[in-house]
């Protein structure tokens, strides 16, 4: 049955494996329920129980993918309706899944990389007494993230959107006995709510404009909507995306989010959840198609964040925060590409996938280092680890080469595509992306050198050792993906651009110069960044305490004053407003209603003086009331 068109293809229903697509979400949901509500005795089998669900979902996703390959490219979007959520007036919402080229790519990433990170966590969290709860939250996250990418209605997408936000909140604050973790968790949730404000209004605007929030209703009708509404919806969706994906100006929570256990940083705050904003923009292609100013805003936000994150990444001595800056920056690249429209959508998703591989690799590698170094995160306390942690070193190096874009590693293909597309469409964005690539070369080389090279600056009680194989096997797999993932995605079976074309459309803008020349320019810029880092951090011993640094360094260390701005513009005035309102409410509003506040007090104290019991005072007030009643009746009856 044909249900309509999304993008350039028809959406149909199908039986077979597709009718079981809901299992993707239900497996991790059951896992989460069992682990969170089940007996503490399950703790003994936490590893198997925790990993079972995402692995099962991965099998389902792979089966769906294979089934999809067997269909014609235009027949690959499958609608899987599940149940009606509600119908009020003419507005109906159904819970259903849209399994298409875009959502299956995400599903494979979420369940694939997600499973690896679950397995890794068996080792990483082995000594945590709340590990059962940890795996419960991780399973909950996987379920919510899959709902987010598979939903076929913006309102249901929003349920998943908030679900991942909840999981993120719970996991950032997993060690909630630390004040810093609890504060970071709350901050992440509240900043995301600012984004959700935009997201809610976008969804509400869709109801006003289209009378529906179903993809199948919104996308075909979008072309008929006024440009003003499309721009408004596009900008509101962008606000939502900025919150979830830590894009400027809602970026401030991501660096603090590193308070969470490192596998969480890898899965949620690097590989999957934070890319949801990119998904949202790409999925909403039909809206952005008619809203050029909104697209421009996406490009601007992406470019700014790509540079901002990179600059912040340069100054952090905390390995996780350096990587978090890098995540911001890389998602900025994806946003930038997504803002280019059909010319960039496929590249945004391409980079999103390769980033999922190599950033997960880098974070898990950092976790492995921390695991061997008594949870030390200060890179000034590392150094020379390549000899004692061979596997971590080699696999981390694969992630490193991938992120800075050295051929043939994955990032080379995906990042080059974005920079080329950016130059072809907008010189300023292209230049920003190119400079960002150079800075990436710099800060990642810095991380690499400070951690694995140079002399050993370890704390006296540090005895670094390689991690157990339950942690290193996922590292090897991710290193492999960081090596071949880019080329494979780009070339195997027509490649990702062709695969996504029915969803995202395609548009090719010619570059002014030959592609090989562009590639050489990008490589040269990256190598300059690497060389500068080598000059500063590779050739001389590193002080254990951070030097004062230039004003730029100081600004970057303080996250380019993002928190300071929030504090000055929102927090302090907000606290002042709240305090004064509390003061006014306690005195003023009360008084304005019944004469004055003291009148109430006096009246009640007079009542108290009269009363010898409550019955008496009640009777008195009833008497007074009855008098008023009589007067009222007389008044009304008089004429």
Partner 1 sequence: MTFPWLTTLIVVPALGAVLTALVPRGLEVTAKKLALFIALVTAVLTVIATVAFVRNGEPVQFVEQYAWVESFGVYWALGADGISISLIALTGVITPIVLTAMWREAEAERRNPKPFFALVLLLESMLIGAFAAKDVLLFYILFEAMLVPMYFLIGLYGGPQRRYAAVKFLLYNLLGGLIMLAAVIGLYVQAATQGRGTFLLADLVALDIPQSTQWWLFLGFMFAFAIKAPLWPFHTWLPDAAAEATPANAAYLSGVMDKVGTFGMIALALPLFPAAARDFAPAIVVLAVISILYGALLAIGQTDMKRLIAYTSISHFGLIVLGIFALNSQGAAGATLYMVNHGLATVALFVIIGFMIVRRGSRFVADYGGAAQPAPVLAGSLLFAGLAALGLPGLAPFVSEFLVLVGTYSRYRLAGVLATVGIILAALYILLLYQRTMTGPARESTAGFPDLRRRERLIVAPLVALLLALGFFPKPLLDVIGEGVQPVLAEVDVGDPEPLVPAAEGTVP
Binders of partner 1 among 154-183, rule CB under 8 A? Answer: 155, 158-159, 161-163, 166, 169, 173, 176-179, 181-183
Task: Out of 8, 74, 227, 585, point to the residue binding partner 1 (CB under 8 A).
Answer: 585
Q: Are 331 and 230 in contact (CB under 8 A)?
A: no
Least Cβ distance, residue 463 to partner 1 (angstroms): 28
Closest separation in Å from C-beta 134 to partner 1: 13
Which span (99-107, 350-358, 549-557, 585-593) binds partner 1, by CB under 8 A?
A: 585-593
Token readout for 232 is: 């408004």
In the 8-state DSSP scheme, what is residue 373?
T
Among 194, 488, 532, 555, binds partner 1 (CB under 8 A): 194
Binders of partner 1 in range 355-384 (CB under 8 A)? none
In whole angstroms, how close is the CB of 33 to partner 1 at the nearest point? 10
| Nearest Cα residue to 78 out of 64, 59, 62 | 64
CB of 70 to partner 1, least distance (A): 24
* Helix, strand, coil percentages, rounded to 5, for the chain: 75, 5, 20
Q: Apex CA 163: angle with CA 158 and CA 168, to 5°?
A: 125
What's the alpha-carbon Rg for the chain, to the nearest Å? 28
Q: How far is the CB of 31 from partner 1 (least distance, A)?
A: 17
In sign, the C-alpha dihedral spanning 216, 218, 220, 221 is: positive
Least separation, in Å, of the C-beta of 61 and partner 1? 22
- Least Å from the CB of residue 230 to partner 1: 10
Q: Where are the alpha helices (DSSP H) in 1-100?
A: 23-37, 46-69
Member of 9, 212, 265, 467 binding partner 1 (CB under 8 A): 212
Q: What is the largest CA-CA distance in the chain?
A: 103
112 or 165: whose CB is closer to partner 1?
A: 165
Comparison of 161 and 443: residue with beta carbon closer to partner 1: 161
Per-position b or e across 493-504, b if 16+ CB within 10 A of its CB: eebbbebbbbbb
Q: Which structure tokens are listed for 583?
A: 């003061």
Q: Which residues contact 456 (CB under 8 A, 6 or more apart)?
A: 383, 384
Residue from 546, 577, 595, 616 touching partner 1 (CB under 8 A): that is 577
Q: Name residues contacting partner 1, limited to 213-272 (CB under 8 A).
A: 214, 216-217, 220-221, 224-226, 229
How far is it, in rounded angstroms, from Cα 235 to Cα 224? 18
Instruction: Give yes or no for residue 63 binding partner 1 (CB under 8 A).
Output: no
Q: What mask of x and - would describe binding to partner 1 in positions 536 to 575, judged by CB under 8 A?
A: --------------------------------------x-
Stretch that binds partner 1, among 104-112, 196-204, 443-451, 465-473 (CB under 8 A): 196-204
Binds partner 1 by CB under 8 A, chosen from 227, 592, 598, 616? 592
Least separation in angstroms between residue 597's CB and partner 1 is 9
Q: Give the shortest CB-265-to-partner 1 separation in angstroms.
A: 19
Q: Tell me if 139 sits within 8 A of 28, measured CB to CB.
A: yes
Phi, psi of 437 (to 5 degrees): -65, -40
DSSP 95-163: EEEEESHHHHHHHHHHHHHHHHHHHHHHHHTTT-TTHHHHHHHHHHHHHHHHHHHHBSBHHHHHHHHHH
In the complex with partner 1, the residue whose CB is nearer, 96 or 383, is: 96
Q: How many residues interact with partner 1 (rule CB under 8 A)?
A: 87
Judged by beta carbon, residue 469 or residue 580, the one nearer partner 1 is 580
Nearer to partner 1, 179 or 455 (CB): 179
Q: Decide whether 166 or 462 has the Cβ nearer to partner 1.
A: 166
| Dist. CA 455–CA 453, nearest whole Å | 7
Coil vs helix vs strand at 513:
coil
Residue with tokens 């704390």: 459
* Count of CA atoms in the C-beta half-sphere (13 A) of 603: 11
Question: Strand, coil or helix: what is 251?
Answer: coil
Return the range that interacts with partner 1 (CB under 8 A); candidates 66-74, 383-391, 405-413, 581-589.
581-589
The residue (of 260 and 485) whose beta carbon lies closer to partner 1 is: 260
Minimum CB distance to partner 1, residue 444 (Å)? 34
Cβ proximity to partner 1: between 41 and 637 the closer is 637
- Helices (H), ranges, 151-226: 154-172, 179-210, 215-222
φ, ψ dihedrals at 37, nearest 5°: -100, -15
The least distance separating partner 1 from the CB of residue 628, rounded to whole angstroms, comes to 5
The token duo for 531 is 């060389």
Among residues 474, 36, 407, the alpha carbon closest in space to that of 266 is found at: 474
284's tokens: 């909403």
Q: In the complex with partner 1, which residue's Cβ is closer, 546 or 581? A: 581
- Using CB under 8 A, pick the residue from 23, 75, 126, 193 that binds partner 1: 193
Among 26, 63, 207, 431, interactor with partner 1 by CB under 8 A: 207
Q: Applying CB under 8 A, which part among 97-105, 323-331, 514-522, 576-584 lies near partner 1?
A: 576-584
Distance between CA atoms of 457 and 93, rounded to whole angstroms?
Answer: 59
Interaction with partner 1 in 66-125: which residues (CB under 8 A)? Answer: 79, 81, 83-91
Residue closer to partner 1 by CB (options 155, 366) is 155
Binding mask 596-635 for partner 1 (x = CB under 8 A): ----xx-xx--xx-----x--xx--x---x--xx--xx-x
For residue 6, list its beta bridge partners. 9
Q: Smallest distance, Å, CB 146 to partner 1? A: 14
Site string for partner 1, 307-336 (x = CB under 8 A): ------------------------------
Among 442, 503, 411, 493, CA closest to 307:
442
Closest CA relative to residue 346, chosen from 203, 240, 494: 494
- Is beta strand 2-6 parallel, antiparallel or unpaired with respect to 9-12? antiparallel
* Closer Cβ to partner 1, 151 or 319, answer by number: 151
Report the Cα 598 to chain-centroid distance in Å: 52
Subset of 461-520 contacting partner 1 (CB under 8 A): none
């Amino acid at each position: 049955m044909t249900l309509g068109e999304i993008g350039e293809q028809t959406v149909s229903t199908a039986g077979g494996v597709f009718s079981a697509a809901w299992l993707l979400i239900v497996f991790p949901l059951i896992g989460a329920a069992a682990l969170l509500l089940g007996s503490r005795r399950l703790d003994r089998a936490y590893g198997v129980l925790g990993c079972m669900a995402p692995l099962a979902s991965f099998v389902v996703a792979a089966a769906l993918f294979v089934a999809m390959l067997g269909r014609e490219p235009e027949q690959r979007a499958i609608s899987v309706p599940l149940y009606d959520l509600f119908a009020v007036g003419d507005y109906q919402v159904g819970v259903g899944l849209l399994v298409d080229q875009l959502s299956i790519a995400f599903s494979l990433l979420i369940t694939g990389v997600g499973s690896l990170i679950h397995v890794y966590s068996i080792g990483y969290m082995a000594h945590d007494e709340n590990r059962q709860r940890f795996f419960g939250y991780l399973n909950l996250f996987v379920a919510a993230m899959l709902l987010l990418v598979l939903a076929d209605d913006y309102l249901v997408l929003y349920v998943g959107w908030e679900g991942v936000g909840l999981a993120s909140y719970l996991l950032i604050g997993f060690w909630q006995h630390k004040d810093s973790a609890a504060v970071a968790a709350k901050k992440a949730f509240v900043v995301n709510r600012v984004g959700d404000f935009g997201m809610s209004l976008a969804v509400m605007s869709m109801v006003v404009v289209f009378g529906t929030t179903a993809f199948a209703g919104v996308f075909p009708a979008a072309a008929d909507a006024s440009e003003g509404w499309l721009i408004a919806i596009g900008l509101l969706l962008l606000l939502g995306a900025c919150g979830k994906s830590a894009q400027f100006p809602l970026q401030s929570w991501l660096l603090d989010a590193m308070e969470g256990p490192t596998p969480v940083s890898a899965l949620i705050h690097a590989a999957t959840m934070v890319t949801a904003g990119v998904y949202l923009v790409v999925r909403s292609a039909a809206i952005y198609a008619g809203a050029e100013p909104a697209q421009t805003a996406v490009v601007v936000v992406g470019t700014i964040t790509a540079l901002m994150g990179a600059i912040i990444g340069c100054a952090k001595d905390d390995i996780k925060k350096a990587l978090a800056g890098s995540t911001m920056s890389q998602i900025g690249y994806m946003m930038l590409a997504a803002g280019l429209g059909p010319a960039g959508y496929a590249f945004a998703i391409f980079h999103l996938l390769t980033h999922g591989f190599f950033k997960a690799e880098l974070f898990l590698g950092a976790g492995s280092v921390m695991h061997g170094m008594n949870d030390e995160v200060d890179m000034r306390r590392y150094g020379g680890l390549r000899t004692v942690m061979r596997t971590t070193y080699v696999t981390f190096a694969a992630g490193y080469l991938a992120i800075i874009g050295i051929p043939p590693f994955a990032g080379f293909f995906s990042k080059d595509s974005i920079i080329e597309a950016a130059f072809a469409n907008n010189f300023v964005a292209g230049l920003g992306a190119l400079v960002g690539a150079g800075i990436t070369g710099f800060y990642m080389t810095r991380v690499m050198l400070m951690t694995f090279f140079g002399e050993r600056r370890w704390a006296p009680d540090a005895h670094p050792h390689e991690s157990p194989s339950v942690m290193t096997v996922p590292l090897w797999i991710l290193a492999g993906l960081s090596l071949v993932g880019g080329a494979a995605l780009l070339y195997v079976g027509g490649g990702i651009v062709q695969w996504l074309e029915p969803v995202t459309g395609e548009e090719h803008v010619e570059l002014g110069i030959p592609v090989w020349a562009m590639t050489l320019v990008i490589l040269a810029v990256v190598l300059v960044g690497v060389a500068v880092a080598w000059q500063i951090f590779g050739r001389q011993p590193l002080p254990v305490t951070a030097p004062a640094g230039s004003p730029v360094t100081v600004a970057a260390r303080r996250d380019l004053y993002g928190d300071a701005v929030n504090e000055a513009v929102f927090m302090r005035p907000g606290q002042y407003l709240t305090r004064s309102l509390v003061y006014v409410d306690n005195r003023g509003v009360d008084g304005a209603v019944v004469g004055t506040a003291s009148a109430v007090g006096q009246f009640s104290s007079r009542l108290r003086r009269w009363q010898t019991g409550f019955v008496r005072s009640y009777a008195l007030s009833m008497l007074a009331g009855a008098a008023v009643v009589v007067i009222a009746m007389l008044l009304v009856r008089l004429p």
